[in-house]
Chain A
């Protein structure tokens, strides 16, 4: 690997963290650099513990995946990439970057062998992947096909998300313009389609993108109301303060001990007021299962809360009394408690999870 200093004139590429645990163990972090506009592999930047930064030209298609020609040919045929205007040599790097990005669906830090690689690549939505990346590369044939297949459903989905025909049309148009790469980043057209990896369907990806843009738009336009949630609670009476603090501390500890799915369940059901059906569809289980799990979860929560209160110095009776207090009398921002039970940016969580999985 020929390492060299990062040239100052080069545009700042979009960074994506990979193999952070390995890097951390060696005292440096390895950042792969993927040019999102062309989806071609760029440099690898080594940020050393000493603060020195090294950049290396790496071709992931060569380094990560020397795909057997037979497999590549087969995947290329399955993806119908030719009809999207993607040649075999265009498709190889795309597969390579996807495999590199997702580490072939394996836990971070493990190195996939050839069989795992082939199996992972076969599970992808290959036609969607080829179409999306061909569109990102600006192939006319691919865009025609994309329009034919997705333009109508994109508008429908936007209307369904916004709940209004005009807003939906507006949203769909803006997302379509964005996909087409009207936004430029550092002088280059950047299409979000290049970030599509083919794990889910392209329609699902489009729907998620629409939802993101919609939520983003809503957040920007309703910033004032959204901030209310983050207001500090009103000053509590002095005598209630101690009990509240104890209860808050117990709640925080209890929430923290819950699993991610349970916390998601509580948030979605109680904070977002999602229906049992919605949660069931997101989690991929039956409605009744969600209902039972919620019931069990609440009982368990109460038990744990009691235990936490007792461990905080309260007698059992006092703890039950504290729980039995009228919630209207207690000034606790449960929302903030539940939301802040695990903080930090998503990448840090990912790093933590990766570290946890590697330590196992």
Chain B
């Protein structure tokens, strides 16, 4: 061992190491320094045992480098806060633009069934899946708010125009949120296809069976008709369904005379309808007006296009391509293209517009709860001429309840007025139904749903290669009344067989829009307008 390491002569490695790392107590340090000052070897050892400069200097450099920005943890929190703000903004924006009212679908309410489904129809309806006779619940129906608009649209173009149809089909204050409307349009497409298949099936089926089934069902329903007098407005014309009984009976022997669907154009009805140049507006008075006057205004509706104010719609009325909407700020907008583009109108009234509704000029005093409109091709909408070659017409419509909510799964039976040939369909989830491949003529449309009173719409005219619209509204089965509304062409007799249907009181001049928009303000004023632009106080 060298003398450097000899104990007693020089400090050992432990002491020198502690000295270099400044870990010595003061007394010992002094001693070591005194030795170092006289011992060159130990000074050399101390100098050599210094840690390398880069090791010693490293810790002091690193914080200096990162000093100018040390807030990386702040960046994360800032990013989180920023994204949360963006998400919140998007959420608020969407909440403001989406209508507050969810799709309203009337659920079938439990109702006492007074009678079992009548008619031995089980064996007879097996020929067609779509053939379902109405199962009357023994309660009478009160009928209101249907409108039939035969539109001359080619069946090939039907699918393209279905969306517009879905909008225009509810030209009388039928409330349905846009999602329901779109769904409905899609469902209509599907239904169209299934109905086409059904038409094929129907061709092979016996039309007599249909006629018998429909006749019997209808007869039985009508036999049970009774009318509580207090529940109907006195100024309405009510035609009891009993009037249909002889018609149905009369139709029975005539069903053999019904032209086959594959050969349209040969029957009387088709000729009569196709030849009807003047529009046949059949208006009938229906009940349930009090309910309609209040409730539709509360149903927010959404047009296809968004309102310029981007606010939810409080009330909307539409007629053909003309639409009127009131948003939550009581601003009134009018659209000429079925809701695609909106224009704000300057309000001549003093208060705030609350309700938009349609009223008929024939019945201008009461807010509209009507109805049914039947127009033939070449009438109001001369542009929609039926293309030649497709002689069969179709009938579509919507079944709603008193509040305007759609009723899915309702049974709809279409019975030819003369031949009593019947076809039964069910409404889809959007409450719509389509019966295609109908021979031109007048039809009775019946709708029934569990929990609702059945309703009937008589005398809906189906023209060749055109689509008629029949909207039915069912009221809740609370009373036992039924109202049968019959329609008949006012200008000229369409068919000898439809003569049982009484003509409407008002015969409107051809070419004039028979409906008016009406705005009700919060101060109770009523303003009407034909085009949504010029308003007159009522």
Q: Which residues of A contact B (CB under 8 A)?
A: 14-17, 105-108, 160-161, 192, 195-197, 199-201, 203-205, 207-212, 214-216, 219-220, 260-261, 263-264, 266-268, 271-272, 274, 277-278, 281-282, 284, 338-343, 345-347, 349-350, 353-354, 357
B2 partner residues in chain A, CB cutoff 8 A: 216, 219-220
Name which residue of chain B comes closest to A216, CB basis: B2
Which stretch in B49-57, B267-275, B452-460 binds the other chain?
Answer: B49-57
- In this assembly, does B114 line the interface, its C-beta being within 8 Å of a C-beta of chain A? no
Q: B44 and A215: CB pair below 8 A?
A: yes
The 6 A-B pairs of least Cβ separation, nearest first, read A263-B37, A211-B48, A200-B17, A347-B8, A260-B34, A199-B18
The 8 Å CB contact of B34, one of A195, A215, A342, is A342
The 8 Å CB contact of A195, one of B12, B27, B35, is B12
A338 partner residues in chain B, CB cutoff 8 A: 37-38
> What's the nearest-Cβ distance from chain A to residue B22, in Å?
5
The 8 Å CB contact of A216, one of B5, B14, B18, B33, is B5
Q: B45 and A271: CB pair below 8 A?
A: no
Known interface pairs A106-B25, A278-B47, A357-B27; A260-B37 also in contact (CB < 8 Å) = yes
> What's the nearest-Cβ distance from chain A to residue B355, in Å?
83
- In this assembly, does B31 line the interface, its C-beta being within 8 Å of a C-beta of chain A? yes
Per-residue 0/1 for B307-345: is the Cβ within 8 Å of any A Cβ (1 yes, 0 no)? 000000000000000000000000000000000000000
The 8 Å CB contact of B50, one of A200, A264, A281, is A281
Q: A350 and B45: CB pair below 8 A?
A: no
| 9 additional contacts (CB under 8 A) given A207-B50, A350-B31 | A108-B27, A161-B49, A200-B21, A204-B51, A261-B30, A261-B33, A271-B40, A341-B38, A346-B31
Q: List 17 A-B contacts (CB under 8 A).
A: A195-B13, A200-B17, A200-B18, A204-B18, A208-B14, A208-B16, A211-B16, A211-B44, A219-B4, A260-B34, A266-B37, A272-B43, A272-B47, A282-B50, A338-B38, A346-B31, A346-B35
A211 partner residues in chain B, CB cutoff 8 A: 16, 44-49
Q: B14 and A205: CB pair below 8 A?
A: yes
Known interface pairs A195-B13, A281-B56, A353-B31; A216-B4 also in contact (CB < 8 Å) = yes
Q: Which residues of B contact A (CB under 8 A)?
A: 2, 4-5, 7-14, 16-25, 27, 30-31, 33-41, 43-53, 56
Bound form: Cα–Cα A197–B30 in Å: 19
Bound form: Cα–Cα A15–B8 in Å: 10
Q: B5 and A212: CB pair below 8 A?
A: yes
Bound form: Cα–Cα A197–B9 in Å: 19
Name which residue of chain B comes closest to A17, CB basis: B8
B27 partner residues in chain A, CB cutoff 8 A: 107-108, 353-354, 357
Q: A267 and B45: CB pair below 8 A?
A: no
Q: B47 and A282: CB pair below 8 A?
A: yes
Bound form: Cα–Cα A319–B2 in Å: 45
Known interface pairs A282-B46, A346-B9; A105-B25 also in contact (CB < 8 Å) = yes
Q: B21 and A349: CB pair below 8 A?
A: no
A196 partner residues in chain B, CB cutoff 8 A: 13-14
Q: B17 and A267: CB pair below 8 A?
A: no
Known interface pairs A260-B34, A272-B40; A346-B49 also in contact (CB < 8 Å) = no
Known interface pairs A216-B4, A281-B50; A208-B20 also in contact (CB < 8 Å) = yes
The 8 Å CB contact of A200, one of B14, B39, B56, is B14
> What's the nearest-Cβ distance from chain B to residue A166, in Å?
18
Q: B10 and A346: CB pair below 8 A?
A: yes
B51 partner residues in chain A, CB cutoff 8 A: 203-204, 207
Bound form: Cα–Cα A282–B287 in Å: 109
A-B interface contact total, Cβ < 8 Å: 162
The 8 Å CB contact of B13, one of A208, A220, A264, A353, is A208
Q: Is the interface of B mostly helix, strand, loop or mixed?
A: helix
> What's the nearest-Cβ distance from chain B to residue A275, in Å?
10
B47 partner residues in chain A, CB cutoff 8 A: 211, 268, 272, 274, 278, 282
Q: B31 and A267: CB pair below 8 A?
A: no
A357 partner residues in chain B, CB cutoff 8 A: 27
Q: Is the interface of A mostly helix, strand, loop or mixed?
A: helix
Name which residue of chain B comes closest to A36, CB basis: B7
Known interface pairs A211-B44, A267-B43, A342-B38; A192-B13 also in contact (CB < 8 Å) = yes
Bound form: Cα–Cα A219–B38 in Å: 16
Q: A264 and B36: CB pair below 8 A?
A: yes
Name which residue of chain A comes closest to B41, CB basis: A215
Q: B40 and A267: CB pair below 8 A?
A: yes
> What's the nearest-Cβ distance from chain B to residue A210, in Å?
7
Q: A199 and B23: CB pair below 8 A?
A: yes
Bound form: Cα–Cα A209–B12 in Å: 8
> What's the nearest-Cβ distance from chain B to residue A222, in Å?
12
A106 partner residues in chain B, CB cutoff 8 A: 25
B52 partner residues in chain A, CB cutoff 8 A: 160
Bound form: Cα–Cα A161–B45 in Å: 10
A261 partner residues in chain B, CB cutoff 8 A: 30, 33
B34 partner residues in chain A, CB cutoff 8 A: 260, 263-264, 342, 349, 353
> What's the nearest-Cβ distance from chain A to residue B30, in Å?
6
A343 partner residues in chain B, CB cutoff 8 A: 38
A105 partner residues in chain B, CB cutoff 8 A: 25
A160 partner residues in chain B, CB cutoff 8 A: 52
B50 partner residues in chain A, CB cutoff 8 A: 207, 278, 281-282
Q: Tell me which of B13, B25, B47 has the highest count of chain A C-beta atoms within 10 A of its own C-beta.
A: B13
Q: A219 and B41: CB pair below 8 A?
A: yes
Bound form: Cα–Cα A343–B34 in Å: 10
Known interface pairs A195-B13, A199-B14, A211-B44; A204-B38 also in contact (CB < 8 Å) = no
Known interface pairs A267-B43, A272-B44; A260-B33 also in contact (CB < 8 Å) = yes
> What's the nearest-Cβ distance from chain A to residue B112, in Å?
83
Q: B5 and A14: CB pair below 8 A?
A: no
> What's the nearest-Cβ distance from chain A to residue B7, in Å?
7
A260 partner residues in chain B, CB cutoff 8 A: 30-31, 33-34, 37
Name which residue of chain B comes closest to A15, CB basis: B7
Q: A267 and B25: CB pair below 8 A?
A: no
B19 partner residues in chain A, CB cutoff 8 A: 282
B25 partner residues in chain A, CB cutoff 8 A: 105-107
Bound form: Cα–Cα A220–B44 in Å: 15
Known interface pairs A216-B4, A345-B8; A209-B13 also in contact (CB < 8 Å) = yes
Q: B33 and A264: CB pair below 8 A?
A: yes
Bound form: Cα–Cα A44–B48 in Å: 36
Q: A161 and B48: CB pair below 8 A?
A: yes
Q: B35 and A208: CB pair below 8 A?
A: no
The 8 Å CB contact of B20, one of A204, A272, A350, is A204
> What's the nearest-Cβ distance from chain A to residue B291, in Å?
85
Bound form: Cα–Cα A343–B9 in Å: 11
> What's the nearest-Cβ distance from chain A to residue B55, in Å?
10
The 8 Å CB contact of B48, one of A16, A199, A215, A219, is A215
Q: A339 and B40: CB pair below 8 A?
A: yes
B24 partner residues in chain A, CB cutoff 8 A: 199
Q: A215 and B17: CB pair below 8 A?
A: no
Q: B17 and A205: CB pair below 8 A?
A: yes
Bound form: Cα–Cα A200–B14 in Å: 7
> What's the nearest-Cβ distance from chain A to residue B127, in Å?
91
B12 partner residues in chain A, CB cutoff 8 A: 195
Bound form: Cα–Cα A199–B25 in Å: 10
A208 partner residues in chain B, CB cutoff 8 A: 13-14, 16-17, 20, 45-46, 49
Q: A200 and B20: CB pair below 8 A?
A: yes
Bound form: Cα–Cα A346–B38 in Å: 10
Bound form: Cα–Cα A346–B15 in Å: 12
Bound form: Cα–Cα A96–B25 in Å: 19
Q: B4 and A215: CB pair below 8 A?
A: yes
Bound form: Cα–Cα A213–B506 in Å: 127
Bound form: Cα–Cα A162–B37 in Å: 23
> What's the nearest-Cβ distance from chain B to residue A258, in Å?
9
Bound form: Cα–Cα A343–B49 in Å: 24
> What's the nearest-Cβ distance from chain B to residue A352, in Å?
9
